[in-house]
Chains A and B, each alone.
Chain A
Amino acid sequence: MKWMTGCLAILLVGCGGKGQGEDDTADDGEDAFQAEALSAPERVIGVPNVDDDLQENGIDWLARNPLDEDMSDLVISPTLQRFVQLSTWRLALQGDTAFLRVWLDEEVLLDEETTEVELPWSDEPLHLRVEFGNSMVQGSLTVEELDKGGATFDEAAISLETGPLLLHHHLQPTERVFMVGPINGTNYSNVSMFNYLSDVLGEVFTAASFWTYGQDVWIQDELQSAYTLAPDGLRNDVILDSIRDRGLDPFPQDALQGPGVGVMTKGSGWANTLDSFGNLEVTPPVSANGRDYPFGRIYYGGKIGSFMPVASELFEFLDAQVMQEPFLVDSTWLCVAHVDEFMTFVPDSTAPRGFRFLYTDVDLAYDILDAMPGDTPLPRYAPNWSHGYGTVAEIRGDLGMRRHNQDLQDMYLEPILQQMTDELGLLEEEIVRMPGMFERVGSCEGYAAAVIPGMLNLLVANLPNGPSHVFLADPFVRASLSNQAEDPFIAEVVERMPEELELHFVDDFEVYHLGLGEVHCGTNDIRTPTDDWWEHADALGGN
């Protein structure tokens, strides 16, 4: 029937309307007339309207604001012909209607409750706007032109879509970096690291107040920036706000939520350490096992059946975004149990896929220690409240710690490296082993934390039109605290890192390292999207 109606429409337009090349001006005494078939775009791609244009600490979608700028225009041009008198538009909304709204002027025309509507037909184009309330929305709008008898004259189906919510990865340009401070307490200071980052990053750097945010320095753990894109430059960022809810809990709303930036929390409950977002990381773009991941893959830590994030809803949500298909690695051998503690990715334009994967190797750390003069003093490690190792001989001579580290390498680190290789299709030349080692922490029932400041727990800042800066923890494996040139750990890391990176070894010892975190844990960032998801439909599973 539709086929017949469509043919009839073509026939009528073709016969009665103006044909191609026909001269309107020949019809003396009559208005110029241009026959047209019903036309509408096949596809409207939008962004979820989850930012806060109204700046009321809310989600715009819930505000039903007709003036909101995050809607997508949809223009439907009517059939123009002279043979059948059309009287009615019939519009029907299908699919994920809970997250779809169609507006006409300043009124909601269609939504979850009103999925079908009829309007008086006119020969003027119908200017609608489509509002989306979530990512990964799939819906459609069917538009029919009805004649006076109620029969369908022509119709069009328009796909209404939003894409996935995507998390940033380390190859993308950095727009903003966040850090709490400056903190200038006695024996608890991050001033050196704070000033260093501020100087290098300039206007990209944003400070959060230590006192306003409940002395919570772990800004990596509170929020994860993400983004949604649509054609014509539409972009809405989303700050995922962890259920961790420590002192920094209000920071995303206070400092980030606003036009173009929404804040959302997925999941609920009494958070455990795995709900922190240092335990939610993203690889660069990879292909593995016959599948492309043009936006990278999400990885996070836990262990099925024993210790998992409480916010399971978050991971279900991220899984439903399809493109960055999350996978779990076992991080439960660590005290803090975050994946950012022992592996990361850095840019390298000379690498096959533009990145190197940095991975902790305890044997490498011991090789360096074993090659050092045993009587080298270690002033940063010497006090018992620090690590209680006064010299290199003492730290390398702690055989219990050495055996424990060897076991960690064999029982956890090597299997996880194999898993990462399998999941990401890592090439041998992409993997760069870096020195790192762990100790057993008393307050953590003997679970592991970095004994030498974890240098892979780092911040990558790709400044626009500038180099990639990498901020790493100063390991302080040397006698002179001020002379980084004599630190063999720094020398080894510099040697192994891509040459194009600007490396900055910063002092994170008092506030972060002794608090069981490092540079990455104490910073966070927002980045610029670098690719359009709709150009990678295959990565959405054939959609």
Chain B
Amino acid sequence: MMRRLCTLLALSFAPAALAGWQADLQLALADCASDPAPCEVLDGFQAYKARSGDLRFQATPGMDDPATHPMLLHRLLQASDPAMRLAYADLAGRVLRDTDPRWWPAWAELASTDPDHRVRHALIVGLRRAPIEAAEPGLRAAARHPEGPTRALAVMEMGGHAESLRFLPDIRAALTDAHPEVRASAAQVAGWLGEADLVGDLLGVLDDLSGEVRGYALLSIHRLDPSQARAVANRLDGDAHPRVRAALSRIARDRR
């Protein structure tokens, strides 16, 4: 109850010129006065330290109700403790696949704009299973982020999305990104798309400076066109990078 009062008090001093999802959020939180139940669901949960050391909301019944999501979004925006912000983002990433479309722009925006890369990344991972209307703008924006690891993760989740073919041009472009992690992600997920057209692009990165890129490119060629992979495998025979060796082993296993 106290938390709700504080929220309402804070909202009463909030700037009036908000628009879009931020304005929607204000309205949704104002509804807490008439229907407090969805706004208080989060109060019933405690974040525990997961084995990784990060705080995590584990079993949180009630959070599958989209009516609870504005409060989750609000908590994420208001929290200052990085560990709690990550816990909120992680939970958001898990539930946002069924969120009210009003909040898609919010999650999509935060996935590329939040100053904490771990918060961004939790949301990016969540967007993989979100409706394409949320995932497409969110992942595309994240794929343009100045930080390579954020771009790399966005490309990875594009490839894992149920409508991954929508991202084919982004993935193809990412093969020539300046950051090796991005190129490696692109090389990996290119093999997931089932588009033989990408083999030519992948052949072009078999000489990449990064062994991760070379290895995943070879594996992806194998997934898209096994005969082509067998034909080019000898180009990498002397490559000692573990990912290249693993890809070569995979090709050899199939050959047997």
Question: Could you list which residues of chain A lie within 8 angstroms of chain B, going by C-beta atoms?
Answer: 185-188, 215-218, 221, 246-247, 273, 276, 278, 330, 335-336, 338, 383-386, 388, 398-401, 403-404, 407, 410-412, 414-415, 418, 440-446, 510-512, 514-517, 521
Cβ contact within 8 Å between A411 and B64: no
Bound-state CA distance A152–B58 (Å) is 75
Having A330-B242, A398-B129, A400-B161, one finds 12 other A-B pairs with CB under 8 Å, namely A273-B51, A400-B157, A400-B162, A400-B164, A400-B192, A414-B246, A440-B157, A442-B90, A446-B125, A446-B153, A511-B58, A515-B51
Bound-state CA distance A414–B249 (Å) is 9
Q: A187-B61, A399-B192 are in contact. Are A443 and B97 (CB under 8 A)?
A: no
Q: A273-B52, A403-B192, A516-B51 are in contact. Are A440 and B64 (CB under 8 A)?
A: no
Bound-state CA distance A438–B197 (Å) is 29
Cβ contact within 8 Å between B122 and A442: yes
Cβ contact within 8 Å between B59 and A384: no
Report the nearest B residue to A439, measured CB to CB.
B125
Cβ contact within 8 Å between A443 and B54: yes
Selected interface stretch from B42-50, B198-206, B229-237: B42-50
Cβ contact within 8 Å between B87 and A186: no
Residues 163-197 of B contacting A (Cβ, < 8 Å): 164, 188-189, 191-192
Please name all residues of chain A whose beta carbon is closer than 8 Å to the beta carbon of B94 when the two chains form the complex: 384-385, 388, 442
Cβ contact within 8 Å between A443 and B87: yes
Cβ contact within 8 Å between A443 and B56: yes
Report the nearest A residue to B222, measured CB to CB.
A410
- Among candidates B50, B129, B216, residue contacting A443 with C-beta atoms closer than 8 Å: B50
Cβ contact within 8 Å between A414 and B250: yes
Cβ contact within 8 Å between B56 and A410: no
Tell yes or no: B91 within 8 A of A by CB: yes
Tell yes or no: B98 within 8 A of A by CB: yes
Cβ contact within 8 Å between B247 and A411: yes
Tell yes or no: B115 within 8 A of A by CB: no
Bound-state CA distance A244–B68 (Å) is 35
Cβ contact within 8 Å between B161 and A415: no
Please name all residues of chain A whose beta carbon is closer than 8 Å to the beta carbon of B124 when the two chains form the complex: 446
Bound-state CA distance A35–B192 (Å) is 88
Bound-state CA distance A418–B59 (Å) is 37
What are 16 inter-chain pairs, A to B, with CB distance below 8 A? A187-B58, A187-B61, A388-B97, A400-B128, A400-B160, A400-B161, A400-B192, A407-B216, A410-B246, A414-B246, A414-B249, A415-B246, A443-B54, A514-B59, A515-B56, A521-B51
Report the nearest B residue to A404, measured CB to CB.
B160
CB distance from A507 to the nearest CB of B (A): 12
Tell yes or no: B134 within 8 A of A by CB: no
Q: A386-B59, A440-B125 are in contact. Are A415 and B192 (CB under 8 A)?
A: no
Cβ contact within 8 Å between A410 and B250: yes
Report the nearest A residue to B126, measured CB to CB.
A442
CB distance from B127 to the nearest CB of A (A): 10
Please name all residues of chain B whose beta carbon is closer than 8 Å to the beta carbon of A246 when the two chains form the complex: 49, 53
Please name all residues of chain B whose beta carbon is closer than 8 Å to the beta carbon of A388 when the two chains form the complex: 94, 97-98, 129
- Among candidates A218, A440, A443, residue contacting B118 with C-beta atoms closer than 8 Å: A443
Bound-state CA distance A399–B159 (Å) is 10
What is the interface residue range for chain B against chain A? 35 or more
- Among candidates B52, B95, B156, B242, residue contacting A516 with C-beta atoms closer than 8 Å: B52
Please name all residues of chain B whose beta carbon is closer than 8 Å to the beta carbon of A276 when the two chains form the complex: 51
Bound-state CA distance A215–B52 (Å) is 14
Digit string of B237-256 for contact with A (CB within 8 Å is 1, else 0)? 00000110111011001000
- Among candidates B46, B53, B97, B164, residue contacting A188 with C-beta atoms closer than 8 Å: B46
Report the nearest A residue to B188, measured CB to CB.
A407
CB distance from A514 to the nearest CB of B (A): 4
Cβ contact within 8 Å between A385 and B164: no
Please name all residues of chain A whose beta carbon is closer than 8 Å to the beta carbon of B123 when the two chains form the complex: 442
Report the nearest B residue to A522, measured CB to CB.
B51
Report the nearest A residue to B249, measured CB to CB.
A414
Digit string of B100-136 for contact with A (CB within 8 Å is 1, else 0)? 0000000000000000001001111110110000000
Which of A188, A440, A445 has the most chain B CB within a 10 Å cutoff? Answer: A445
- Among candidates A385, A401, A418, A516, residue contacting B57 with C-beta atoms closer than 8 Å: A385
Cβ contact within 8 Å between B246 and A188: no
Residues 35-85 of B contacting A (Cβ, < 8 Å): 44-46, 48-54, 56-61, 63-64
Cβ contact within 8 Å between A400 and B159: yes
Tell yes or no: B215 within 8 A of A by CB: yes
Please name all residues of chain B whose beta carbon is closer than 8 Å to the beta carbon of A217 when the two chains form the complex: 48
Tell yes or no: B86 within 8 A of A by CB: yes
Cβ contact within 8 Å between B121 and A510: no
Cβ contact within 8 Å between B160 and A443: no
CB distance from A250 to the nearest CB of B (A): 16
CB distance from B69 to the nearest CB of A (A): 10
Please name all residues of chain A whose beta carbon is closer than 8 Å to the beta carbon of B53 when the two chains form the complex: 246, 273
Bound-state CA distance A221–B189 (Å) is 34
Tell yes or no: B89 within 8 A of A by CB: yes
Report the nearest A residue to B58, measured CB to CB.
A514
Tell yes or no: B139 within 8 A of A by CB: no
Please name all residues of chain B whose beta carbon is closer than 8 Å to the beta carbon of A441 when the two chains form the complex: 90, 125
Q: A384-B97, A442-B94 are in contact. Are A401 and B49 (CB under 8 A)?
A: no
Bound-state CA distance A441–B156 (Å) is 13
Digit string of B143-161 for contact with A (CB within 8 Å is 1, else 0)? 0000001000100110111
Report the nearest B residue to A389, measured CB to CB.
B129
The 6 closest A-B pairs by CB, nearest first: A400-B160, A442-B93, A442-B122, A443-B90, A187-B59, A517-B51
Cβ contact within 8 Å between B48 and A385: no
Cβ contact within 8 Å between B59 and A188: yes
Bound-state CA distance A383–B61 (Å) is 8
Cβ contact within 8 Å between A411 and B86: no
Tell yes or no: B213 within 8 A of A by CB: no
- Among candidates B45, B48, B122, B219, residue contacting A410 with C-beta atoms closer than 8 Å: B219
Cβ contact within 8 Å between B125 and A335: no
Cβ contact within 8 Å between B160 and A401: yes
CB distance from A342 to the nearest CB of B (A): 14
CB distance from A89 to the nearest CB of B (A): 58
Cβ contact within 8 Å between B249 and A515: no
Which of B90, B118, B125 has the most chain A CB within a 10 Å cutoff? Answer: B125
CB distance from A172 to the nearest CB of B (A): 25
CB distance from B154 to the nearest CB of A (A): 10
Cβ contact within 8 Å between A188 and B48: yes
Cβ contact within 8 Å between B89 and A515: no
Cβ contact within 8 Å between A384 and B95: yes
Please name all residues of chain B whose beta carbon is closer than 8 Å to the beta carbon of A335 when the two chains form the complex: 52
Bound-state CA distance A186–B43 (Å) is 13
